[in-house]
Structure 1
């Protein structure tokens, strides 16, 4: 196919058709937009020539140089101020560091002193509590001793006559050496009485325990006897039942025992009858019996042969009799 020129070309505002009829709409759209539209300068405007551009750039350059110098001056002044501030800040920092070290040491000293003071306070508090408890104990002991002293004075005043009596008893008696000996012996007697009373109480408790033990043993024995009686009654009932069962089985076994004896008797009788029959048959044939009683099989075989023979003879005899009767009737 032959090549043709394109009917559309691309411009900044879109597609422009080569034909005027097709480009009118795009032209109208192009006139309505302001983005790519450049206004022409006025008639009295110098325009943007090279000289004007040079002058504008030169003015801009001078302004930039002045601004750069001003900024450089401000930067130098700011640098000097910053150096001064840094020196001042370093001095302040060094002073604050020294102050911090001093304050930190002071705080540590205060903390150590506080710990030491707390430790001393705790120790003193514990010591004070111990002393307070000791003082209270001493006060209590002093009060008890005062009470005991007053009671002792009253007791001494009360028992003063008894002391005189005790001295008189010691003087009169030959047993006591001194009042202390008398008092010791009386104390020994009182202790012996106390021990005797304790031993009496102990023995009474043992007797009571033995009595309770005897009661318990008696109860257990009574329960055991009652259990044995129950077992004996149960055994007696079992014995009665067993006796009834034994009597029943005795009757049954008696009948069973008679049955084997009767069977044995019948068997012996049968053997005797067989032997008698064997002897009779041998005597009939005039033969001496040569078989023994324990050879029952051979005896039975012999008897069977003889019985068969006798049966055949009997049949022959009966048949002969019947023939004779028939012939007699015919005659």
Structure 2
């Protein structure tokens, strides 16, 4: 009977257990487990003969064939079901593709509409800002006109006595036909005065420009004259230097001329003396000379 635990001590050949008190407990433990315990067959058991093995294998083969047929039927049924599922999946895929195309087109349309709406919103905002600015300008203009209307009323109320005086002047005077004629003539005089003032300012500006031009020309002429004076001074210095140099060389040349003339005179005198001596010698010798 195999034991679950090995012996602790053995003899020379390895079969002696020196602790039999522990072997009994191990034997009892080994009887309680079924892993390493083999039950012997009963006395009336047929055992594992060839016929029994054939019968068992035949039964197992029939069972396996039945299981194979069941599996084939299940596989065929599953194949048909898979074909149906694949066809259904293809139909669903086609519907989803069409739906995707429709949704994609709808999304693109929505995006285009969104961009168009944003563009319209920006344009409307710009137009709103412009209109708001125009409204503010109109409000300011209306306020200015209201203030002008009040000032005009005050001015009319203030100048109403002058209007009566103007009517009296027109009635008395033979020059003016109506108050409007008087006011037109006054306006003409004022316009003429304005034109005269403008002409005066223009002429004064032209005179100022001419004065500035004359000052500029005068300054340029002064600078030119100053430059010419500087050039003249340079020429004068050069002339004086050249004159001094010429006088120096003239003195030297006159000395050279005097020396040359004196040398020529001395040479002529020497030649004359030699000629006289030659004639005197010829006379003494009685020779004929020219």
Instruction: Report what 1:140 is aligned to.
Output: 140
Structure 2 unmatched ranges of 5 or more: 1-49
Distance change >3 Å, CA 285–CA 74, structure 1 → 2:
farther
Aligned-partner Cα distance in 1 for 2:204–2:102:
89
In structure 2, the residue corresponding to 1:176 is in which secondary structure?
coil
Aligned-partner Cα distance in 1 for 2:192–2:281:
124
Listed one character per residue, the Cα deviations across residues 255-309 of structure 1 (whole Å, up to 9, x for unaligned) are 211111112212222333343344445545545436xxxxxxxxxxxxxxxxxxx
Q: Mapping of 1:191-210 within 5 angstroms? A: 191-210=191-210
Aligned-partner Cα distance in 1 for 2:104–2:196:
83
In structure 1, the residue corresponding to 2:177 is in which secondary structure?
coil
Q: Mapping of 1:255-294 within 5 angstroms? A: 255-284=255-284, 286-289=286-289
Distance change >3 Å, CA 185–CA 254, structure 1 → 2:
same
1:201 CA displacement: 3.1
1:190 CA displacement: 1.7
Instruction: Report what 1:190 is aligned to.
Output: 190
1:245 CA displacement: 3.7
In structure 2, the residue corresponding to 1:159 is in which secondary structure?
helix
TM-score (structure 1 length as normaliser): 0.55
Aligned-partner Cα distance in 1 for 2:141–2:224:
66
Distance change >3 Å, CA 180–CA 70, structure 1 → 2:
same
Q: Mapping of 1:158-177 within 5 angstroms? A: 158-177=158-177
Aligned-partner Cα distance in 2 for 1:128–1:138:
15
In structure 2, the residue corresponding to 1:200 is in which secondary structure?
helix
- Say how many residue pairs are matched: 236
TM-score (structure 2 length as normaliser): 0.62
Structure 1 unmatched ranges of 5 or more: 1-51, 291-331
1:141 CA displacement: 2.9
1:124 CA displacement: 4.1
Instruction: Report what 1:181 is aligned to.
Output: 181
Aligned-partner Cα distance in 1 for 2:233–2:88:
126
1:121 CA displacement: 3.8
Aligned-partner Cα distance in 1 for 2:114–2:240:
105
Aligned-partner Cα distance in 1 for 2:214–2:133:
58
Aligned-partner Cα distance in 2 for 1:213–1:169:
52
More off after superposition, 227-236 vs 140-149: 227-236
Distance change >3 Å, CA 233–CA 103, structure 1 → 2:
closer
Asked which structure has the greater RCO (Cα within 8 Å, sep 6+), the reply is 2
